Chains A and B, each alone.
Chain A
Amino acid sequence: MQVEKFYYDNKTVKMFAYATILWGVVGMLAGLLIAVQIYLPAANFGLPITTFGRVRPVHTNAVIFAFVGNGIFMGVYYSLQRLCKARMFSDTLSKIHFWGWQLIIVAAAVTLLAGYTTGKEYAELEWPVDIAITLIWVVFGINMFGTILKRRESHLYVAIWFFIATWVTVAMLHIVNSFEIPFSMLKSYSWYAGVQDALVQWWYGHNAVAFFLTTPYLGVMYYFLPKAANRPVYSYRLSIIHFWALIFIYIWAGPHHLLYTALPDWAQSLGTVFSIMLIAPSWGGMLNGLFTLRGAWDKVREDPILKFMVVAITCYGMSTFEGPLLSLKNVNAISHFTDWTIAHVHVGALGWNGFLTFGVLYWIIPKIFNTPLYSKKLATTHFWIGTIGIVLYAIPMYWAGFTQAMMWKQFTDDGTLKFQFLETVTHIIPLYVTRSIGGLLYLVGVFIMVYNIVKTVKAGSLVANEEAEAPALSKEVKTHGKEYWHRWIEARPIQMLVFSLVAVAIGGILEIVPTFLVKSNIPTIAAVKPYTPLELQGRDIYVREGCYLCHSQMVRPFRDEVARYGEYSKAGEFVYDHPFQWGSKRTGPDLARIGGKYPDSWHYNHMLEPQSMSPGSIMPSYSWLLDDPIDTAITPAKIRAMQTLGVPYPEGYDKVANADLMSQANLIRINLKLDKINTTANKEIIALIAYLQRVGTDIKSQAKPLAEK
C-alpha cells in the first residue's frame, strides 16, 4: 500500500493555545474584580462599565467561550489531525475560524461592557454577535468534518465522537435559544416570554455546561490522558457507553435549574429524574479516566501534567456527583439562589476545565516547539498553588451558601422571620473575602504558567508543519469478525452526526413542545397587562445594568419566602416578559414583589447611594441613571417589536407611546418633588422607578383563589 507523506498544522494549534492563555488571564481578572466588588462596593468605581452587573457577564462569557472555547479548539486542532492522520481540511478555514472567534470575543467584551445584553445568562450576547457565532461555528464544522472525511485512519476514535456531538448540539442550542426580534442595530427582545423563555434558557444554559464545558473536554481527556500517561484508556468499551449515555441523558436535565419556580411541575420532575440518571455515565467517565492510571501512580508523583489531569478528573467526578444532588428538590430548596451554586460551578470551571487546560498546555507547548518544558518544578508549584486556590475558593462558598440559606429560613418563636435579608449578607462577608483570596491564588498560579511557557517557547522553535506518514485509507473497510451495527456507525462520521442530533433533539423537543402547546401549562391571568412604555424603558435599563445577576424575580412557594417577599410567583404573571428575569442568584433580595413596597424617593436615593437607605448594603451605586436621559427615540421601535411578539398594544400605539411615557414620567417627577427631590421627567431613573413600582403588582388586583373555596 502506498505510504503518503503529509504535514500536521501546528501553527493554528499554537495560536489557539496562546489565545487560551490570554483570555484565561482576562476572564480570571474580571472574576477577581467582581469577587472583590461583592465586599467592597467602592471597587465598582462608580462607572457603568466597571460595575458588577456589566463585568460579571464579561467574566462568565470570557471564561466559558474565550478561555475554555479556545482550549477546546486547541485540543481539537491538535488531536483531530493525529487521530485522523491528516492535516486540517483547509488552512484558510483554520485562519478564519481562529481570527473570527477572537473577533467575536472582542466584540462580546465591548458590547457587554457597553450594556448591550439579552439578559439571559451565558447567552447575553446580542443578535449581531449571535449571527457571527453561528457563522464561525459553521466554519469550524466544515473544517472538522472535512478533516474527518479525508482521514487515513478507518476507525473514529471516541474523542472524535465527543467533538462531533459537541458541534451539533452547541449549534442546535445556540440557534434555538437565540431567536430574538431586533429593534435596533445592537438590541433585541427574546422571541420567547416568561415561563417559555425560562425553560428554553435553562435548557440552553444547562446544556452549554454539558456540551461546551463537558463533552469537548471529555474528548480532550480521552486523547491527552492516554498520551500523557503513555498507555491506552482503561476501557474503550466503557468509553462507548459513556458517550451514548451522556449525550442521551444530559439534554433532558435543564429544568433542574427551575425547581420550585412557576415552571409546570411535570417539567421540573423530568429534569430531576434525568439529572439523577446522569451520575451513571459521568462517573463511568471519571473512573475510566482514573483507572487509565492504574499501576502508573508513580508517574503521577513525578509528572505535573498527570497531576493536573488527575485533579481535573476528580473535580469532574465531584461536580457531576454534586449536580444530581442539587437537582433533588429538597436539596435545591436550600442551595438555589445561594453561593452553593457558585461553589459548584467553580469546582467544575477551576478544577475540571482549568486544570485539564493547564495539563494540555504543558503537554502541547513543548511538543510543538520541540523542546522540553522550561521548568517542571514551576509547573508543580503552579499545580499546588492552583489546588490550594480551588480549595480556598470552594469551601467558603459552600459554607456561605449553606449558612445564608439556613438564615433565610429561620423564624422566631413568634413566627416572624429571624433575620433581615441584609443581615444574612453581612454575616457571610468574611467568606467572600476568603473566596477572593482563593481566586487570587489560582490566578497567581496561571501567571507562573505564563512565565514557564514563555521561557519554553523562547528555548525552542515552532515546528509549524510537522511531518508525518501514513498509508492512504483503503476503500474497503477492514472488518474484525462479524460486522456489527455499531461498527457501521463508528466509521461513518456523517451518520454519527445524524444519530447524535437525533439523540439530543428528542430530549429538547419533548421538554419544550408541551410547554409551548398545552394551554393548561401556562395559566393566563386576566389582571396581567403589558408594560407601559415608560415601564418598558425602565425594564430595559434593568436588563442593561444586569440587575438580574444579583436579584431574582421568583418567589418560591416556601413559608419563609412568602413571609419575606409576598405572594409566590405564578406562571401567568410573566407572559409579557421578553426576556424573563427570574435570575439565578440572590446576592440581593428577590424583587418579584418590589412594586409598591417603597416610595419613589426611596428608590431614587437608593440608586444614588444604596448605603444611605440600607446601611451595610453591598450594592453598587447607579448614579448615572440620575443624569442620563431616557432614549425616547427608540420607544416606537420597541413597541412595534413587542407587537410583533404578540404583546397586545393597540394598533398604531407606537406613534403615541411617547406621549403616554411622558405623562407617566411627570407623575413620578411630581411624586419625587413632594419628597423634596428635584429632577426632570426625562431621566433614566424615572423609567427604572416606574418599572420597579410595577413589578409583581398586577395580581394584587386579582381576587385570591382561596376566597373561592
Chain B
Amino acid sequence: MNGELGKADSLFTTHAKTTIMKFINYLEKITGVDIYALSSFSIFFVFFMLMLLWVWKADKKMIDEISRIPLEN
C-alpha cells in the first residue's frame, strides 16, 4: 500500500484536510484488514464443503421426488 498510492497520497493531501466530504468518515487505515478476507473465505469454503457433502450424501429417493414436483400439475 506504500508504493505509488502512498506517494500520491502524501503529495495531494496536504491542503485537503478541510475539504473532505462530511459523510465519509475516513479511517487512516484498517488494522488487520486481512481478517475480513480470511473470515469471508472461511465462511464461503465451509459452507461450500458442507453443501457438497450434503448433495453427495442426500437420499436419492428424496432427490427424485423433489425433482418431479414441477411435473405434478
Are A223 and B70 interface neighbours, CB within 8 A?
yes
Please state if A236 and B21 are interface contacts (CB–CB under 8 Å): no
Residues of chain B within 8 A of A485, CB atoms compared:
50, 54
CB <8 Å contact, B9 and A510: no
Q: Given A646-B24, A705-B7, decide whether A524 and B44 contact each other with a Cβ distance below 8 A.
A: no
A486 at the interface (CB under 8 A from B): yes
Listed A/B pairs (20) with beta-carbon separation below 8 Å: A155-B65, A157-B66, A158-B66, A222-B70, A232-B68, A232-B71, A237-B56, A237-B63, A240-B55, A244-B51, A480-B59, A487-B58, A487-B62, A514-B30, A517-B27, A517-B30, A520-B6, A524-B20, A526-B15, A647-B21
Residues of B within 8 A of A233 (CB): 67
Q: Do A82 and B73 touch (CB < 8 A)?
A: yes
Given contacts A227-B71, A236-B63, A514-B33, contact A523 B54 (CB under 8 A): no
Q: Which residue of A157, A485, A517, A645 has the most chain B CB atoms within 10 A of its CB atom?
A: A517
Closest to A506 in B: B40
Residues of B within 8 A of A (CB): 1, 5-9, 11-16, 18-30, 33, 36-37, 40, 43-44, 47-48, 50-52, 54-59, 61-73
A-B contact count (CB 8 A): 149
Question: Would you call A153 an interface residue if the criterion is a C-beta within 8 Å of the partner chain's C-beta atoms?
Answer: yes
Q: Flag whether A677 is at the interface (Cβ < 8 A).
A: no
Contacts of B21 in A (CB 8 A): 193, 575, 645-647
Known contacts A485-B50, A506-B43, A518 near B24 by CB under 8 Å:
no
A572 near B71 with CB under 8 A, answer: no
Let me know if B16 and A480 touch, CB within 8 A.
Answer: no
With A157-B69, A705-B11 in contact, is A245–B55 under 8 Å at CB?
A: no
The distance in angstroms between the C-alpha atoms of A485 and B46, with both chains bound, is: 13
Most B Cβ at <10 Å: residue of A157, A236, A506, A507: A236
Q: Min CB distance, B28 to chain A, in Å?
A: 6
Chain A residues closer than 8 Å to B14, beta-carbon distance: 526
Residues in B neighbouring A526, C-beta threshold 8 A:
12-16, 19
B68 → chain A, closest Cβ, in Å? 5
**A301 on the interface (CB 8 Å rule)?**
no
Q: Kindly list chain B residues whose C-beta atoms are within 8 Å of the C-beta of A230.
A: 71
Contacts known (A232-B68, A519-B26, A524-B19); A510 close to B13, Cβ less than 8 A: no
- Per the bound structure, the CA–CA distance linking A524 and B58 in Å amounts to 55
Contact B27 A519 (CB under 8 A): yes
Q: Are B23 and A645 in contact (CB under 8 A)?
A: yes
Is the CB of A634 closer than 8 A to any CB of chain B? no
In the complex, chain A residues whose CB is within 8 Å of the CB of B1: 520
Taking a contact as CB atoms under 8 Å apart, the answer to whether B29 and A519 are in contact is: yes
User: When the two chains form their complex, are residues A520 and B5 in contact, meaning their CB atoms are under 8 A apart?
Assistant: yes
Indicate if A481 sits at the interface (CB-CB under 8 A).
Answer: yes
A191: nearest chain-B partner, CB-CB: B23
**Which A residues from 159 to 207 make CB contacts under 8 A with B?**
159, 191, 193, 196
Could you tell me the distance between the alpha carbons of A223 and B73 in the complex, rounded to whole angstroms? 12
Contacts of A264 in B (CB 8 A): 5
Known contacts A191-B23, A506-B40, A524-B13; A155/B69 CB under 8 A? yes
- CB–CB A486/B26 < 8 A: no
A559 to B29, CA, bound (A): 33
Contact B40 A83 (CB under 8 A): no
Distance (whole angstroms) from the CB of A312 to the closest CB of chain B = 17
Query: Closest CB-CB distance, B38 to chain A, in whole Å?
Result: 11
Kindly report which residue of chain A lies nearest to residue B1, judged by CB atoms: A520
Q: A residues within 8 A CB of B52? A: 241
| A96: interface (CB < 8 Å) | no
Q: Say how far A78's CB is from chain B's closest CB, in angstroms.
A: 11
Q: How far is the CB of A280 from chain B (nearest CB, A)?
A: 11
In chain A, positions 492-513 with a C-beta closer than 8 Å to chain B are 503, 506-507, 510
Q: Which residue of A lies closest to B17 (CB)?
A: A524
Given A480-B61, A518-B30, A646-B20; A83-B15 close (CB under 8 Å) = no
Contacts of A137 in B (CB 8 A): none
Closest to B69 in A: A157
Check: A468 CB closer than 8 A to any chain B CB.
yes
Smallest CB gap from B50: residue in A: A485
Nearest CB to that of B23 among chain A residues? A646
Whether the pair A705, B8 counts as a contact (CB closer than 8 A) is yes
Please give, as numbers and ranges, the residues of chain B lying within 8 Å of A506 by CB-CB distance: 40, 43-44
Q: Which residue of B lies closest to A699 (CB)?
A: B12
Closest CB pairs A-B (n = 3): A646-B22, A646-B21, A526-B15
**CB contact under 8 A between A226 and B71, given known A193-B21, A484-B54, A705-B11:** yes
Tell whether A123 is near chain B: CB-to-CB under 8 Å.
Answer: no
Interface centre among B47, B66, B71, by most chain A C-beta atoms within 10 angstroms, is B66
A256 to B9, alpha carbons, bound, how many Å? 25
B70 touches A159 (CB 8 A): yes
Q: Which residues of A contact B16 (CB under 8 A)?
A: 524-526
Interface pair B9/A523, CB less than 8 Å apart = yes
Chain B nearest CB from A257 CB (Å) reads 21
User: Which one, A79, A484, A529, contacts B58 given CB within 8 A?
Assistant: A484
Cβ-based interface call for A248 (8 A): yes
A291 contacts chain B at the CB level, 8 A cutoff:
no
Expressed in whole angstroms, the minimum distance between the Cβ of A566 and any Cβ of chain B is 18
Residue of A nearest to B63 (CB): A236
Tell whether A298 is near chain B: CB-to-CB under 8 Å. Answer: no
Cα(A157)–Cα(B56), bound, Å = 18
CB distance from A165 to the nearest CB of B (A): 14
Kindly list 18 other residue pairs between chains A and B, CB separation below 8 angstroms, not including A155-B69, A510-B36: A79-B70, A83-B70, A196-B24, A230-B71, A232-B70, A236-B66, A236-B67, A240-B55, A241-B51, A484-B58, A486-B58, A520-B5, A521-B5, A523-B5, A525-B16, A575-B19, A644-B22, A645-B21
| Cβ < 8 Å to B, chain A residues 409-439 | none
Choose among A231, A481, A486 the residue that contacts B51 (Cβ–Cβ < 8 A): A486
Residues of chain B contacted by A631 (CB below 8 angstroms): none
Residue pair A480, B30 in contact (C-beta under 8 Å): no
Minimum CB–CB distance for B25 against chain A, Å:
7
Minimum CB–CB distance for A578 against chain B, Å: 9
* A residues near B48, Cβ cutoff 8 Å: 244-245, 248
Q: Within the assembled complex, what's the spacing in Å between the Cα atoms of A501 and B53?
A: 22
Tell me the bound Cα distance from A570 to B12 in angstroms.
11
Rounded to whole Å, the gap between the CB of A519 and the closest CB of chain B is: 4
Q: A514: shortest Cβ distance to chain B, in Å?
A: 7
Residues of A within 8 A of B71 (CB): 226-227, 230-232
A497 to chain B, nearest CB (A): 16
Q: Please measure, in the bound complex, the distance between the C-alpha atom of A486 and the C-alpha atom of B55, giving whole angstroms.
A: 9
User: Which residues of chain A from 623 to 669 have any CB-CB distance to chain B below 8 Å in the complex?
Assistant: 644-648
Evaluate contact between B73 and A468: CB separation under 8 angstroms. yes
Query: Does A708 sit within 8 A of B, measured CB to CB?
Result: yes
Most chain A CB inside 10 Å of its own CB: which residue of B1, B67, B73: B67
A516 within 8 A of partner (CB): yes
Chain B residues with CB under 8 Å of A644's CB are: 22
CB of A504 to closest CB in B, whole Å:
12
Please indicate the chain B residues that have their CB under 8 angstroms from the CB of A159 in the complex.
Answer: 70
